Structure 1
Amino acid sequence: MLEKIRKLIKLLKTVDLAQLDKLSQKVDLGSVLKAVSTMDEKQLQMAMKMLTSSNKKKEAPPIDADFYDIGFKLSPEDRALQLKVRSFLEKEIKPIVNNYWLHDDFPFEIIPKLAELNVCGYVYEGYGCAGGTSLMDGIIAAEFGRIDPSIATFLGVQSGLAMGSIYICGSEAQKEEWLPAMQQLKKIGAFGLTEPDVGSATAGGLTTTCKRTPEGWILNGQKKWIGNSTFSDMVIIWARDVDDNQVKGFIVRKENPGFAVEKIKGKMALRIVQNGLITLTNCLVPESDRLPYANTFKDTAKVLQMTRAGVAWMAVGCARGAYENALAYTLEREQFGKPIASFQLIQNHLVEMLSNLTAMQTLVFRLSELQDEGKLKDEHASLAKVFCTLRTRDIVSRAREVMGGNGILLEYNVARFLADAEAIYSYEGTKEINSLIVGRSITGYSAFV
């Protein structure tokens, strides 16, 4: 007992007289000493810890969603480009996206700035493109998705679907005409595959038709959910040839007779993306604007394989943005006198989010390595798209949950990710269709109807 009291007295000696006088006015120091004499060693240690602890706010570690340090594998040049893209998005895009998302509008003023960033068509050789790796292209997509999936989708349509269709299936003359201008975003492209009544069944059920005539090709039908189409200079249209029943691709210019587009309104996700309903009424397209190497749906699938990998990366970015915003919130938001990040249940949510995010990051990293090695298969891209978009839904849901009611407000930068994840989950192949592509690969049986 005597030793315990000595320890307490030693502690009290570190307190100046003014503090001691103030303390004596609040508590009976004699009673305190008596209480100390009854404490066991463990209780005394706890009391000492409480007395010596500081009220100073604990400094949190930096927020780093790259928990396994995947960025370490990048070259210094690639890492510098990643940080350049991140800085641009933080400065130019992040401050404006909530307002544009709320008003279902597109920030056209950013297009010249995006052009200066010089990442459009990043993987293509020539035509003003960088000729970079698929890995770095994926990382760029994730950086865009981390700030805003809508702007990431705009770039994905322009750089991947539209430019990719011409790069893979176009003639040299078509490449020379379109790719340099599209790389600089002086010409905007769109990609028309999905139809009002045909989504997953596009491989064999396109209702948009094409018919060759002496004057050119006549296209009839409708395309739905076509991103960028309300302001694009051209749309890649995929149509079924009524003569041989095969899918063919066309560059349809906005001024072509018989081409009309109507903006789709009332979306709850990717509201910045300007999706259109395209109607083709005896739309005349010259033979020179037919993609000569797009003659079956297998050719269409080559483009989709490439861009589906990009969607998986975009999902990673969306999930990362939600996680980082949620973590930052929990470190600042206080309840019961301390940050909610200190509570067990909140930490469990954060760890679940980070676990899924880290698994996604490592998966898409290897996916892009396969792509750069020329080993990418449809089932590889489909598995990544299934897993990443599914896990993203879980991450954004938990991000909203740890933020409570504030999670549904745009100003806290998670509600937008929560909504946008639903669109990413469905486009470029639903979870079910991509699952069947993987299932066919691992079993040898096709379960498609």
Structure 2
Amino acid sequence: MTFEPLISDFYNYESLLSEQEKEAIMALRNYLDSEVRPIVGGYWNRAEFPTEIVRPLAELGQFSYAWDETRPFENSAVFRGFLAFELARVDASVATFVGVQNGLSCGSISVCGSPEQRAEWLPRLASGEIIGSFGLTEPQSGSDSAQGLRTTARRDGDNWVLNGAKRWIGNATFADITVIWAKDVADNQVKGFIVPTSTPGYTASKIEGKVSLRAVQNADITLEDVVVPESLRLANANSFKDTASVLRLTRAEVAWAAVGVAAGAYEAAVAYSKERMQFGKPIGAHQLVQDMLAKSLGNITASLGMVVRVSEMLDRGEQRDEHSALAKAFTTARMRETVAWCRELFGGNGIVIDYDIARFFADAEALYSYEGTREMNTLIVGRSITGQAAFV
């Protein structure tokens, strides 16, 4: 299989990958280009998710690369970042689905679960046999989840009783399990629970009317006296610090996905600039268009350099919260700027779903906000710079 470099990877960062990693990237790229790209716009427009792609993605290893029990070969954080990049440069909704399934659902169980919980749930999630979701954000609690979590967990013998509500929970309308984060009423500490979605008292309602990530099935979840056995409490989730350890691993991959969205928009803009004729020549032959494309490529190249380095630090055990926070804040801001330039290049055609650029432009808004807003991430970085917390 020939490894073809992308026009959006101007400095060829993919050359850092091993040959085996390149082969896996090309297998994913070929599948996305041949099977996902042709259909995803229609699903996005209908606000539906293409569930037929779940098993093929599982067979390509997309839900198992990160975890010891299931990964097919030793792989780097840079490689896992390029997987998120590759998914997002085709469709951010598909990248978000994989991020929830692999990063947040598998990640919570891998980082916070017992050996028995890992052995029971990770292979089933990795194979696509079951779908997972991650329930942290609430109707009245987003950026302040560490302190403002309102969902409660009360111990009752060998069981726990959960009450509360969650919002913006990806995959939740068709998930088989949801990792629910709730405050223990006894010690006021945040704990995690693997909750089968068939449990009485658990309901998930699709959030309608979204203008971003329309194919992602976000839901409002209500928990009314949901009884969960002690065996489904994540054994090593005893405070919000443990929740944050999961988010620390996934935040960098959101940064990678943001670069992927910018790259997808740029690649669409370059192709359009060569075929759209104005004033007797392709618009790509005009100075102002070349200026926008060069600025876009500069943003993408700088952002790739940042996320590659953050992932290298993760591989070496050197990455801290402020490193992934800076990457998420910077790359999503540059993504937002880039997709705006690229959409501008399309003129009126840039606001219809017939052209991929409209989808990239709209989806960028969600990535800009989720897994920590730009403001919250800059405060994490600011605390590192000054030694002073300024969150409230």
What range describes the TM-score normalised by the shorter chain of this pair? over 0.9
Counterpart check, 1:112 vs 2:58 = no
Q: Is the 8 A contact 1:127 1:176 kept in 2?
A: no
Deviation at 1:115, TM superposition (A): 1.6
SS of the aligned residue for 2:137 comes to coil
Deviation at 1:129, TM superposition (A): 5.3
Gaps of 5+ in 1: 1-61
1:302 is matched with which residue?
A: 245
2:192 is matched with which residue?
A: 249
2:124 is matched with which residue?
A: 181
SS of the aligned residue for 1:321 comes to helix
1:272 is matched with which residue?
A: 215
**Partner letter of residue 219 of structure 2?**
G
1:122 is matched with which residue?
A: 65
Alignment of 1:261-410 (within 5 A): 261-410=204-353
1:443 is matched with which residue?
A: 386
- Give me the TM-score of the superposition, normalised by structure 2: 0.97
Name the CA distance, whole Å, in 2 between partners of 1:196 and 1:433: 18
Counterpart check, 1:233 vs 2:176 = yes
Correspondence for 2:7 among 36, 51, 64: 64
Deviation at 1:365, TM superposition (A): 0.5
Gaps of 5+ in 2: none
> Could you list the per-position Cα deviations for residues 414-433 of structure 1 after superposition, in whole angstroms to 9, with x for gaps in the alignment?
00000000000000001111
Alignment of 1:100-179 (within 5 A): 100-127=43-70, 130-179=73-122
Alignment of 1:414-429 (within 5 A): 414-429=357-372
SS of the aligned residue for 2:258 comes to helix
Report the structure number with the largest CA radius of gyration: 1
Name the CA distance, whole Å, in 2 between partners of 1:342 and 1:128: 47
Q: Is the 8 A contact 2:64 2:70 kept in 1?
A: no
Q: Is the 8 A contact 1:124 1:132 kept in 2?
A: no
Residue identity over aligned pairs, in percent, reads: 53
**Partner letter of residue 132 of structure 1?**
N
Aligned residues: 388
Name the CA distance, whole Å, in 2 between partners of 1:388 and 1:319: 9
User: Over the residues paired in the alignment, what is the CA RMSD in angstroms?
Assistant: 1.1
Name the CA distance, whole Å, in 1 between partners of 2:21 and 2:354: 32
Q: Is the 8 A contact 2:167 2:219 kept in 1?
A: yes
Name the CA distance, whole Å, in 2 between partners of 1:186 and 1:69: 36
Name the CA distance, whole Å, in 1 between partners of 2:14 and 2:55: 28
Alignment of 1:1-150 (within 5 A): 64-127=7-70, 130-150=73-93
Counterpart check, 1:413 vs 2:386 = no
Name the CA distance, whole Å, in 1 between partners of 2:200 and 2:60: 35
1:8 is matched with which residue?
A: none
Q: Is the 8 A contact 2:62 2:98 kept in 1?
A: no
**Partner letter of residue 238 of structure 1?**
W
- Give me the TM-score of the superposition, normalised by structure 1: 0.85
Q: Is the 8 A contact 1:134 1:368 kept in 2?
A: yes
Name the CA distance, whole Å, in 1 between partners of 2:66 and 2:6: 30
Name the CA distance, whole Å, in 2 between partners of 1:281 and 1:131: 43
Deviation at 1:306, TM superposition (A): 0.3
CA separation of 1:258/1:95 partners in 2, compared to 1, >3 Å: closer, same or farther? same
SS of the aligned residue for 1:270 comes to coil
Deviation at 1:119, TM superposition (A): 2.4
Deviation at 1:127, TM superposition (A): 3.7
1:13 is matched with which residue?
A: none
Deviation at 1:113, TM superposition (A): 1.3
**Partner letter of residue 408 of structure 1?**
I
